[in-house]
Amino acid sequence: MVEALGSDDRDLERIETLAHQPVEFARLLVGELHPVTGVRILSWEPRARWKDTLHVIWCIRALRYITGGLDFRATTAHHFGTNEIERNREWFVGGEQFRKDRTVRFFGVWMSRDSAYIAPRDAQVEIIRQWREWYEQHGKTFSYVDPARHQPPDVWYF
């Protein structure tokens, strides 16, 4: 079920099922994380084009879901360009926080378009390291969200 995340419209169903075994689920999810390609994924593009990237995004969404919104940010040396895609990428992965400390999230979503923007590779690598460190230090004892309590999308999806 973990390997299928990002492949179709049953992702939330999979996450809610797997959330009943959160320690093992978190371990599997963290194990799936790796840097991905892409800058922007438009909602109408074929999933197959972005299969690997969507899989990793959904693994992070699942981690956010079972942890009640835990998320990590990392600095980037990337200089976002001035074209529309790069300006949007900076905003959706960094937001206001980026202007303060140059940190970004692994991905961000333009809500009204359901389009995802992906962090630069250097930040991805650091965020993955943070997830692995978190699991090593806290994953087995973390107070995961009760799976009967459905998490609102603003906690985990965007």
**pLDDT confidence tier of residue 151, bands split at 50, 70 and 90:** confident
Res 128 pLDDT > 90: yes
- 3 within some domain: no
Q: Taking Cα atoms as reference points, which of 88, 108, 92 lies closest to residue 158? A: 108
pLDDT category of residue 28 using cuts at 50, 70 and 90 = very high
**Contact (CB, 8 A) for 46 and 53:** no
Q: Residue 37 belongs to what domain range?
A: 11-156
- Inside any domain, residue 131: yes
Q: State how far the Cα of 117 lies from the Cα of 74, in Å rounded to an integer.
A: 15
Task: Tell whether 107 is covered by a domain.
Answer: yes
pLDDT on residue 58:
98
Q: Is residue 6 part of a domain?
A: no
In a domain, 150, yes or no: yes
Q: Exposure of 3 by Cβ count < 10 A (0-12 exposed, 13-18 middle, 19+ buried)?
A: exposed
Higher model confidence: residue 116 or residue 46? 116
In a domain, 4, yes or no: no
Whole-structure pTM value: 0.96
Q: How many domains would you assign to the chain?
A: 1
Task: Using pLDDT thresholds of 50, 70 and 90, give the confidence band for residue 148.
Answer: confident
144: Cβ contacts below 8 Å, ≥ 6 apart: 19, 22, 23, 26, 66, 67, 68
Structural domain contains residue 16? yes
Helix (H, G, I), strand (E, B) or coil at 83: coil
Residue 81 within any structural domain of the chain: yes
Give the pLDDT confidence of 46-62 residue by residue, as tens digits: 988 999 999 999 999 99
